[in-house]
Amino acid sequence: MREVVFVDGVRTPFGRAGEKGMYWGTRADDLAVRALQGLIERNPELPLDRVDDVGIAATTQQGDQGLTLGRSVAILAGLPMTVPGYALDRMCAGAMTTTAMMSGAIGANQYDIAIAGGVEHMGRHPIGIGADPNPRFVAEKMVSPDALNMGMTAERLHDRFPQLTKERADRFGMLSQQKVQAAYDRGDIQPDLIPVAIKSTEGWGLATEDEGRRPETTMEGLASLKTPFRPHGRVSAGTASPLTDGSTMALLAGGDTAKELGMKAKMRMVGFAFAGVEPEVMGLGPVPSTEKALKRAGLTIDDIGLFELNEAFAVQVLSFLDAFGIDDEDARVNPWGGAIALGHPLAASGVRLMLQLARQFEQRPDVRYGLTAMCVGLGQGGSMIWENPHFNGKKGK
């Protein structure tokens, strides 16, 4: 297989979904356009006419989040008319899947350069709106009705694994908020944010930071929150990713093409895998997908020096850590926090994990391999293994 590299990745700041969120007056496709424009502006050495394809994922493909986003957004962002594009849906793993599919095409020597990303405007397009699930899904007991409610699937993880207590989940959620704020204070996250012009009743403004952060979160405060998915449940707003609007974009290329054009690689693709599990416990999905990806790569979990795990729910990440014997507060896991604090704009989140890992690779030449992984609605998981081009051969502690 030909070498595939992650050249660069960017995203818009993530905003709270709904009328009070900063993107309420912004079109979904314009979020994607701005992210793609930002990616192009950051990479002036990229010959636009050599982009082979643009894949943009969205979970709810309707209205201003429809019309074959990869093609329409590419045109709006200024790519030549000769560049094709497509849209894709794998719910939360949309951008991860477009990245995987583009990487596969590059690795098979069919593409040289591709752009992969995702967008989700959950304020304008709530998950599942307008969908008509086949009644046989439930009537014939293929899946439980709970499987269509992501919060209930998280509660079921607590049910299935009693060691995944509410206290553990609350602590994980609190630490995510603290780690994100610490990363902001160090200036680690801001370099990959593309400012977005926004309009509200107060006039025009500029979105420059993620809107949903709550660094003041405490264990006492989390203990007092309601559990909306079940009376006396264990999943609360403090241990779940908030409804979020935002877009992400990644630039991928063959290793030889990147060298030809003078583009430096931030990561090298090692491999990827997707897997299915019972929809009722969809949060377990990243366990078999990671096992599959590791096996194909000839690696073990101990070879992974950094983990970027999507925090759809705290209990979901904890179930992954328990499966692989990793401590809740292992320094390798989400060192800059995650979706509980930053937000999870569904189809966009996969690339957010990647660009965050790429930045950490720059700071950690002692780490050779990193993993981005996430659970996916209707019982799936996705995992991608990356190699650090800055690795100096001296493993850290």
In the set 121, 125, 158, 375, the catalytic residue is 375
Minimal CA–CA distance to 29: which of 77, 100, 89? 77
Q: Is 158 a catalytic residue?
A: no
Q: How far is 379 from 144, CA to CA, in rounded Å? A: 12
Q: Which of 92, 121, 125, 158 is catalytic?
A: 92
Specify the DSSP element, H or E, that contains 255. helix 255-261
For 314: left if phi > 0, alpha if psi spans -120 to 50, otherwise beta; the answer is alpha
Residue 92 known to be catalytic: yes
Count of positions (residues) in the chain = 397
CA atoms within 13 A on the CB side of 49: 0
- Which string of DSSP letters, residue by residue, matches 217-258? --HHHHHTS--TTSTT-S--GGGBPPPEEEEEEEEEEEHHHH
Question: Would you give the DSSP letter of residue 264?
Answer: P
CA distance 59 to 377: 10
CB of 250 closer than 8 Å to CB of 116: yes
The two structure tokens encoding residue 236: 């609360």
In this structure, what token pair is assigned to residue 46?
């990229």
> What DSSP state is assigned to residue 141?
T
Selected catalytic residue, list 121, 125, 158, 344: 344
What whole-number distance in Å separates Cα of residue 221 and Cα of residue 322?
26
Measure the CA dihedral 124/126/128/130, to 10°: -30
Question: Is 375 noted as a catalytic residue in this protein?
Answer: yes
Strand residues in 168-241 grouped as ranges (E): 196-200, 203-207
Contact of 250 with 125, CB cutoff 8 Å: no
Q: CA 77, 17, 351: angle at the middle one, nearest 5?
A: 50
SS3 44: coil
Residues identified as active-site: 92, 344, 375
